[in-house]
Amino acid sequence: MGRLLVGRSLLCCLWRHLLKGKFLTTVMPLIPVPQHLLDDDEMEQIFEALGAAKIRVDGCSSFLKAALKWSVEFGAHKSGSPELHVMLAEYIYSESSEVDMVRVSNHFVRRNSPKKFASVLVNFMGKCYPDEDDLAIAWAILMYLAMGNLRDVNYLMDEIKKQLESNQLVFPQSDLIQFIIYLLQTGLLKMKS
């Protein structure tokens, strides 16, 4: 057990060091795209830089996945270290060129940090297509419900509403969201009885 705690502590220290040193943000360079591309050489340079950045992102992501796999095998939690799940979820969300909210959600629900998860969802809702915001919320809610975590799912929903209101964004009112609200209300009644 002592080796496990030391290993997890070392991994967390390494991760903090990488973040503090801005290593992870400099690894994924922000590439300014010119408004008017003049020739094929410029396009080739941009594609090469994007390819190199994707390789670095995949490398960091693979490192975190391997650490998570190790924590599943040797850790106290059967689904892996909650801290590693959050690190991986935040990394996937912030550094991936194409955000996969299913993967992000999958890692956040294992951490039991609905406030942070709500922030990521609200941020995503500001960037995604208008028809996708209800899907992101529904997916997150259903994943919490599938894990039997009714306490955090209700907190998540309340936190999303609060953060949307503070950012002056509108909470989606689709049929899917109405169904999710109904599902939460009936789930709450079952829990109380």
User: Counting every residue, how long is the chain?
Assistant: 193
pLDDT at 8 over 90: no
Domain spans of the chain?
A: 53-192
Choose the weakest-confidence range: 113-122, 143-152, 176-185. Answer: 143-152
Whether this model's pTM surpasses 0.85: no
Q: What is the dihedral of CA 9, 91, 120, 47, to 10 degrees?
A: 170
List of residues 6+ apart from 76 with CB closer than 8 A: 4
Q: Which residue has the higher pLDDT, 70 or 47?
A: 70
Q: What are the pLDDT digits (tens) for 82-117? A: 888 888 888 888 777 677 888 888 888 887 788 999
Q: Which CATH number fits domain 53-192: 1.25.40.10, 3.40.630.10, 1.20.140.10, 3.20.20.150?
A: 1.25.40.10
Q: Which amino acid is at 36?
A: H
